[in-house]
């Protein structure tokens, strides 16, 4: 009997997919026939006998009513429906798009929602704000501890000692924030860490006020970490030298108040108010920043300087988000090498500037 059935099945013409299905169906049929009281049935659904050709979906079992997480035969219709909806929702939910994703070099900007317990969060604010409230788990290293009396960054070894005592190593993922970016606290610490060779350091996209507005956790207790040895690897292309500023042909931005710029400046420098790169204490969107820096070329390096490193760090950070090659510098170092720059005789208008003052301002509409 079995032999006769096989002979009948073998004459059916099936395409390769159907042939596989029929072969599997034949095997099941034979097993069924060997069991007492079981009658023969068609090997493929959709026909009155033999193997139905042309209407079998070999992937139909993938579209069954089984729901992941609900055992076969268990759960009522509502449970299955809810589980199905949950699976479909999880599969259709798009990945979140953060503002940082929209910048050319957005990996240096940390979205509020992406901060995790694996990050070492540094509150760089000065004053007593940290003791009143701070991001949960954050440690306090005021930006003022990173600079000397002249506002310049301390030596690499001094900075490494400060960080090591605070329990920060060069391998830690760092997130820095301050009162807001206009203070320059967070960006100053960012540049100090970049100078020391910290590969994973980001500035928080917002202040403590923004953090609170997002209903994210805060605390007032001081956090401490065990002291470690911070092993610096200084990067010479982070902080510009006098010789580099004078001879490199870099584009130069003066981030001091315009009144100081008018008294004396590095020849050829553009004037830029750091407030031009911010809105509500946060960095502007890339399209707005591109407009502020439209007079600059990405093919040439940029040096940003100010009276200390703070305001230069804000503008330099905005430029780095756009993918510019940046170094920061201080006016006191230039003035120490070229005292005449402090006098009016050193003023030099930028070629093509049509502003009434005779100076070129970045970010202006004139």
pLDDT tens-digit map of 74-130: 455 555 565 555 555 556 667 788 999 999 999 999 999 999 999 999 999 998 999
Please state the rounded mean pLDDT for residues 275-301. 96
Closest by Cα among 30, 32, 25 to 5: 30
In this prediction, residue 91 carries a pLDDT of 60
In this prediction, residue 88 carries a pLDDT of 59
Percent of the chain whose pLDDT exceeds 90: 64
More confident residue, 30 or 247: 247
Say whether 302 sits in a helix, a strand or coil: strand
Say whether 243 sits in a helix, a strand or coil: helix
User: Would you put residue 176 in left (φ > 0), alpha (ψ -120 to 50) or beta?
Assistant: beta
In the predicted structure, residue 24 carries a pLDDT above the cut 80: no
Please state the rounded mean pLDDT for residues 41-64. 37
Q: Report the distance separating Cα 290 and Cα 127, nearest Å.
A: 34
In this prediction, residue 362 carries a pLDDT of 83
What is the model's pTM? 0.71
Chain center to CA of 256: 29
CA-derived radius of gyration, the chain: 34
In this prediction, residue 95 carries a pLDDT of 74
Q: Report the distance separating Cα 142 and Cα 119, nearest Å.
A: 18
In this prediction, residue 150 carries a pLDDT of 81
In the predicted structure, residue 363 carries a pLDDT above the cut 80: no
More confident residue, 16 or 319: 319
SS (H, E, C) 158-193: HHHHHHHHCCCCCCCCEEEECCCHHHCHHHHHHHHH
In this prediction, residue 12 carries a pLDDT of 45
Please state the rounded mean pLDDT for residues 51-61. 35
Domains of the chain: 2-92 (no CATH), 100-219 (3.40.250.10), 242-346 (3.40.250.10)
In the predicted structure, residue 353 carries a pLDDT above the cut 50: no
Structural tokens at position 175: 């997130």
- Residue 103 bridge partners (DSSP): none
Please state the rounded mean pLDDT for residues 326-347. 77
Name, in order, each residue with C-beta under 8 angstroms of 246's C-beta and a sequence gap of 6 or more: 337
Percent of the chain whose pLDDT exceeds 70: 68
Per-residue burial over 340-356, b if 16 or more Cβ lie within 10 Å, else e, is ebeeeeeeeebeeeeee
More confident residue, 205 or 39: 205
């Amino acid at each position: 009997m079995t032999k006769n059935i096989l002979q009948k099945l073998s004459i059916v013409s099936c395409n390769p997919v159907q042939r596989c299905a029929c072969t599997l169906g034949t095997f099941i049929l034979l097993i069924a026939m060997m069991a007492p009281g079981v009658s023969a049935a068609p090997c493929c659904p959709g026909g009155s006998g033999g193997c139905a050709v042309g209407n079998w979906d070999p992937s139909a079992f993938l579209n069954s009513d089984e729901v992941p997480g609900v055992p076969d035969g268990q759960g009522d219709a509502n449970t299955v429906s809810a589980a199905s909806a949950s699976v479909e929702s999880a599969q259709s939910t798009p990945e979140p798009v953060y503002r940082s994703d929209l910048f050319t070099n957005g990996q240096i900007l940390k979205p509020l929602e992406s901060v995790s317990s694996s990050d070492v969060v540094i509150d760089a604010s000065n004053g007593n704000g940290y003791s009143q409230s701070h991001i949960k788990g954050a440690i306090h290293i005021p930006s003022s501890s990173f600079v000397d009396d002249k506002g310049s960054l301390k030596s690499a070894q001094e900075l490494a000692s400060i960080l090591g005592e605070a329990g920060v190593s060069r391998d830690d993922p760092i997130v820095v924030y301050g009162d807001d970016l206009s203070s320059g606290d967070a960006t100053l610490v960012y540049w100090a860490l970049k100078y020391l060779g910290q590969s994973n350091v980001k500035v928080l996209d917002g202040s403590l006020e923004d953090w609170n507005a997002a209903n994210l956790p805060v605390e007032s207790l001081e956090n401490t970490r065990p002291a470690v040895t911070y092993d610096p690897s200084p990067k010479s292309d982070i902080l510009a030298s006098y010789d580099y500023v004078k001879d490199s042909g870099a584009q130069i931005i003066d981030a001091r108040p315009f009144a100081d710029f008018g008294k004396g400046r590095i020849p050829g420098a553009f004037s830029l108010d750091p407030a031009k790169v911010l809105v509500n204490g946060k960095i502007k969107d890339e399209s707005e920043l591109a407009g502020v820096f439209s007079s600059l070329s990405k093919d040439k390096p940029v040096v940003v300087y100010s009276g200390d490193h703070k305001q230069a760090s804000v503008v330099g950070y905005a430029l780095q988000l756009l993918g510019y090659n940046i170094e920061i510098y201080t006016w006191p170092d230039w003035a120490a090498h070229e005292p005449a720059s402090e006098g009016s005789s050193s003023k030099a208008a930028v070629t093509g500037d049509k502003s009434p003052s005779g100076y070129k301002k970045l970010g202006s509409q004139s």
